[in-house]
Structure 1
Amino acid sequence: MFDNLSERLGGVVKKLRGQGRLTDQNIKDATREVRMALLEADVALPVVRSFVDQVKEKALGEEVAKSLTPGQVLVKIVHDELVALMGEANEALDLAAQPPAVIMVAGLQGSGKTTSVAKLARWLRQSRKKSVSVVSCDVYRPAAIDQLRTLAAEVEADFFPSTGDQRPLDIARAALEHARRQHKDVLIVDTAGRLHVDERMMDEIKALHAGINPVETLFVVDSMTGQDAANTARAFDQALPLTGVILTKTDGDARGGAALSIRQITGKPIKFLGVGEKTAALEPFHPERMASRILGMGDVLSLVEEVQSKVDHEKTQKLARKLQKGKGFDLEDFRDQMEQMANMGGLGAMMDKLPGMNEVPDHVKSQVNDKEITRSIAIVNSMTPKERRFPNIIKGSRKRRIASGSGVQVQDVNKLLKQFAQMQKMMKKMKGGGMAKMMRGLKGRLGGPGGFPPGGMPPGGGGGFPF
Structure 2
Amino acid sequence: MFESLSERLEGAFKQLKGEGRISEINIATTVKEIRRALVDADVNYKIAKDFTDRVKDKALGEKVLTAISPGQLMVKIVKDELVELMGSTESELDIKTNPTVILIAGLQGSGKTTFSGKLANFLKSKKNKKPLLVAADIYRPAAIDQLKVLGGQVGVEVYSEPENKNAVEIAENAIKHAKAQGNNIVIIDTAGRLAVDEVMMTEVSNVKKAVNPQEILFVVDSMTGQDAVNTAKAFNERLNFSGIVLTKLDGDTRGGAALTITYTVQKPIKFVSMGEKLDTLDVFYPERMAQRILGMGDITTLVERAQEQFNEEQAKKLEKKIRQNQFDFDDFKEQLAQIKKMGSIKDLLGMIPGVGKAVKDLDISDDAFKGIEAMINSMTPAERGNPDLIDGSRRKRIAKGAGKEIQDVNQFMKQFEQMRQMMKMMNKIPGGAKGLKMR
Q: Check whether TM > 0.5.
A: yes
Aligned to 2:134: 135
How far did residue 212 of structure 1 move? 1.0
Q: Which residue of 2 aligns with 1:197?
A: 196
- The match for 1:355 among 346, 353, 356 is 353
**DSSP 3-state at the match of 2:369:** helix
Q: Is the 8 A contact 1:247 1:274 kept in 2?
A: yes
Matching residue of 1:328: 326
Who is 1:446 aligned against? none
Distance 2:36 2:432 in 1: 43
Matches within 5 A, 1:428-439: 428-433=424-429, 436=432
- More off after superposition, 270-279 vs 373-382: 373-382
User: How many residues matched?
Assistant: 439
CA offset at residue 392 of structure 1? 4.9
TM-superposed deviation, 1:263: 0.8
Counterpart of 2:40 in structure 1 is 40
Task: Give the SS at the match of 2:134.
Answer: strand
Structure 1 residues 55-454: aligned runs within 5 Å: 55-97=55-97, 99-253=98-252, 255-324=254-323, 326-358=324-356, 360=358, 366=362, 368-394=364-390, 402=398, 405-406=401-402, 411-433=407-429, 436=432
- The 2-side partners of 1:305 and 1:131 are apart by 23
Q: Which region of structure 1 is more displaced relative to structure 2, 33-42 or 308-317?
A: 308-317
Residue 383 (structure 1) shift: 3.0
Structure 2 CA distance, aligned partners of 1:436 and 1:368?
Answer: 31
SS of 1:180's partner is helix
**Cα-Cα RMSD:** 2.4
Percentage identity across aligned positions? 47
Q: Deviations over 1:440-460 (max 9, x none)?
A: xxxxxxxxxxxxxxxxxxxxx
Structure 2's unaligned 5+ residue stretches are none
Mark the CA change 1:198 to 1:408 in structure 2 (over 3 Å): closer, same or farther. Answer: farther
Question: Hey, what's the Cα distance between the residues in 2 that align with 1:23 and 1:358?
Answer: 31
- Aligned with 2:429: secondary structure? helix
Which residue identity does 1:48 align to in structure 2? A
Flag structure 1 segments of 5+ consecutive residues without an equivalent: 440-461
Separation (CA, whole Å) in 1 of partners of 2:231 and 2:411: 48
Which residue of structure 2 lines up, in the alignment, with residue 3 of structure 1? 3
- Cα deviation digits, residues 371-408 of structure 1 (max 9, x gap): 21244334323433233224455567755654565555
Scaled by the length of structure 1, what TM-score is found?
0.87
Cα deviation, residue 281, structure 1: 0.8
Judged with a 3 Å threshold, the aligned counterparts in structure 2 of structure 1 residues 409 and 31 are, in CA distance, closer, same or farther, namely farther
Contact 1:140 1:164 (8 Å CA) reproduced: no
Question: TM-score normalised to the size of structure 2?
Answer: 0.92
Instruction: State how far apart, in whole Å, the 2-side matches of 1:134 and 1:79 are.
Output: 38
Question: Which whole-Å deviations, capped at 9, do the CAs of 1:320-346 have from their partners, x for residues lacking one?
Answer: 11122x142211111111111111114
Using the TM superposition, give the Cα deviation of residue 265 of structure 1 relative to its aligned residue in structure 2, in angstroms.
1.9
Kindly tell me: are residues 148 and 81 of structure 1, through their superposed partners in 2, closer, same or farther at Cα, counting changes over 3 Å? same
